[in-house]
């Protein structure tokens, strides 16, 4: 992407009928992501703070943000070709529940690819909601 160009982003969210502490405690454990985040696939190993995963597109590595007081669950997807895909994710207390937001970015790809990514994120967030609310 050329300098000065914006990188279109969309941020789907879902409200989960569970407390912020419960939702963040679940999201702050990288090993829980395969239970709902189909884009990250299955965990195949771990090297320090980097998780090896098998995604629908092939092998990748994922580095997660450390547990923090701000609800940040950012992670970077590291592809074999050296591409790093930063993923911004937040859990925010909202009344008696929690709002979870995940930003999908276009990264110079066609608009249709971003639209497909957003649909995928929305499906995964719906799965997260269903999983966490059924655990209550």
- CATH number reported for the structural domain that contains residue 105 in this entry: 3.30.530.20
Structurally, the chain folds into a number of domains equal to 1
In a domain, 46, yes or no: yes
In a domain, 66, yes or no: yes
CB 20 within 8 A of CB 132: no
- pLDDT at position 37 over 80: yes
Q: Give the pLDDT mean for 58-68.
A: 90
Query: Cα torsion at 97, 8, 83, 125 (round to 10°)?
Result: 20
Average pLDDT, whole number, for the chain?
87
User: Residue 68's domain spans which residues?
Assistant: 9-134
In a domain, 4, yes or no: no
In a domain, 110, yes or no: yes
- pLDDT at position 38 over 80: yes
Helices 20-27 and 111-134, interaxial angle, to 10°?
120
| Residue listed under structure tokens 């912020």 | 20
Q: Give the pLDDT mean for 69-92.
A: 90
In a domain, 2, yes or no: no
In a domain, 15, yes or no: yes
């Amino acid at each position: 992407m050329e300098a000065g160009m914006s990188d279109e982003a969309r941020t789907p969210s879902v409200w989960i009928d569970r407390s912020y502490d419960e939702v963040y405690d679940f999201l702050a454990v990288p090993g829980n992501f395969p239970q709902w985040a189909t884009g990250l696939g299955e965990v195949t190993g771990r090297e320090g703070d980097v998780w090896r995963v098998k995604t629908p597109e092939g092998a990748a590595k994922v580095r997660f943000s450390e547990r923090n007081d701000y609800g940040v669950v950012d992670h970077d997807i590291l592809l074999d070709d050296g591409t790093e895909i930063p993923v911004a994710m937040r859990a925010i207390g909202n009344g008696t529940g929690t709002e979870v937001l995940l930003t999908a970015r276009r990264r110079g790809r066609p608009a249709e690819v971003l639209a497909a990514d957003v649909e995928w994120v929305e499906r995964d967030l719906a799965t997260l909601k269903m999983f966490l609310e059924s655990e209550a």
